[in-house]
Structure 1
Amino acid sequence: MMVFTHIRDNFAAAFFPRLSEWLAAFVVLALGWMLTANPALMVAGKTDYQLMLMIASQPFWSTTLILFGAGRLTILLINGAWRRSPHLRALAAFLSCFFWTQIALSFAPTFGFAFILACGWLGMDMINIMRAMRDARTIDDTYTRRTTGGHA
């Protein structure tokens, strides 16, 4: 019972400060699911998805987004429940920027809602990188002080 209390308390303390990271991870996962649920979305000939289709097929994008989103959610769960993992959080946010960039560039020719939304998610994950790296520095500095006896 104490283990569950520990996990619940640590998770609750880490969830809200990382809410934007959780949302970004869920959106990547949902985008992958959407591509699975709508198999004709990225048909050849549509201008909106040509850049993404030049890189990979729709089933590949779907699988990649689902696996990446699930992996990022796992990193966040571990960070909140067991141990701090700001370096992995920063890496996941950095790698997410690849997806947001591909989506933004794919929709840039139509310059519509999807372009602006993708740019917003890209900007948010850039901020998430900086916040996670700040957390990483704090943890690294604390570790250094412990191992050097307080002398950095």
Structure 2
Amino acid sequence: MGAAMKTALKSLADRTNEWFSSLVMIAWGATLALPGDLLSQPGFVAFRRFGMTEASWAALFAFVGAARIVALYINGRWPRSPHIRMVGALFGAVSWVQASVLLYEAAGINNTPVTTGCAVYALLAAFELFSINRAAFDARYHVS
């Protein structure tokens, strides 16, 4: 097995939550980049308040998700990588709380039941808080 693959697998084992959330961010970006206007759907009515286009949301999520993947891969080789992981996890926590709240608000606006997405994104946010704490520990004690 190549050295790059071993590094990636070790990082995945140690940072599974961060890898998963990063991949979900990339998936959000890819989904929003698909043809069609997803944000015009009733379940996303609250997202339109921010004045960002679907392409802007897609680029933001894809970029941050990809940046986090890079930071996770280089973790331990560069002293600042835990700090980048903290920033990425903070963005993730804010993003997932926001997604959860906006989906909840959309249910109220549309007078429809709350979707499972509210709970799933709230849990992603909670795990991001754990990831912030873990990255802070790594930064403090230089754990690779």
TM-score when scaled to structure 1? 0.78
Task: Give 1:65-80 correspondences, 5 Å limit.
Answer: 65-79=61-75
Count how many residue pairs are aligned between Structure 1 and Structure 2: 133
1-structure distance, mates of 2:8, 2:62: 23
Q: Deviations over 1:1-43 (max 9, x none)?
A: xxx53x4444433320101100100000001101112522111
Does 2:45 match 1:50?
Answer: yes
Letter in 2 for 1:115: C
Q: Any stretches of 5+ residues in structure 2 without a counterpart?
A: 108-113
TM-score when scaled to structure 2? 0.82
Does 2:17 match 1:20?
Answer: yes
Secondary structure, counterpart of 2:38 in structure 1: coil
Indicate the percent of aligned positions where both proteins have the same amino acid.
22
Secondary structure, counterpart of 2:59 in structure 1: helix
2-structure distance, mates of 1:18, 1:91: 15
1-structure distance, mates of 2:16, 2:132: 13
Does 2:55 match 1:59?
Answer: yes
2-structure distance, mates of 1:36, 1:8: 29
Return the index of the structure with the highest Cα Rg: 1
Letter in 1 for 2:74: I
Does 2:91 match 1:88?
Answer: no
Contact 1:93 1:129 in 2 (8 A): yes
Runs of 4+ residues over 6 Å off in structure 1: none
Letter in 1 for 2:19: W
Q: Any stretches of 5+ residues in structure 1 without a counterpart?
A: 141-152
Aligned to 1:100: 96
Contact 2:11 2:73 in 1 (8 A): no
Q: 2:126 aligns with which of 123, 144, 152?
A: 123
Contact 1:104 1:116 in 2 (8 A): yes
Aligned to 2:138: 135
